[in-house]
Amino acid sequence: MNLDEYEYLNIGCGNVRFPNCINMDIVDNVYTYVDIVGNVLNIPFPDKRFKGVIFCHVLEHLYQKDHFRAMQEIRRVLKPNGKLFLECPDLNLVCKYFLDNFQGRGDYWYMCIYGRCLHEGDAHKSGITQEYLTDLLFTHGFGHLNWKTRNDREPTLIVVAEKLEKTLLEKI
């Protein structure tokens, strides 16, 4: 496989592969279909390599203290005006659904909070709200946030963000 021909990076791919993407996960095991093993805290690619990064249901698997580094690394490998597609559980909505036992699916909502825990890397280590995610993205030089929803009942934050010329910290 010639990795040079791919324009997008799918970080934390698990068992989901996308076309025209290098599919990367922290492990290569029965739960993943990877092209390359790598860590979002030290992405094994050069600066400004990708037009886009997919970061789907990964942020919650990191401790909050590691979110800063993950965003720095994603920004580093994106080309100017590159796009980040980020998806994660909406902690506010998931907690509400759990407390309300929405649709009689309390066990499912509990899993959305803490992860499936099928293996060591499958636990959720942090909760994400829209306010927190907005601040994290703006601080790390992402803007033009385009929020998306699947439906009214899906407790998921979905955002497409564009890499800006400078981070908020560089502007100060």
Across the range 36-64, mean pLDDT stands at 97
- In contact, 160 and 85? CB cutoff 8 Å: yes
CA 70, CA 60: separation in Å to the nearest integer?
12
Residue indicated by tokens 């699916």 = 105
88: helix, coil or strand? strand
**pLDDT per residue as tens digits for the range 72-102:** 999 999 999 999 999 999 999 999 999 999 9
Domain spans of the chain?
A: 3-91+125-171
Q: Kindly report the average pLDDT of the chain as a whole number.
A: 92
- In contact, 90 and 50? CB cutoff 8 Å: no
**pLDDT per residue as tens digits for the range 109-130:** 999 999 988 777 789 999 999 9
Q: For every residue of 25-80, which 3-state class applies, written as one string?
A: ECCCCCCCCCCEECECCECCCCCCCEEEEEEECCHHHCCHHHHHHHHHHHHHHEEE
Topology of 3-91+125-171 in CATH? Rossmann fold (3.40.50)
Q: What is the DSSP letter of 115?
A: B
CA 19, CA 24: separation in Å to the nearest integer?
13
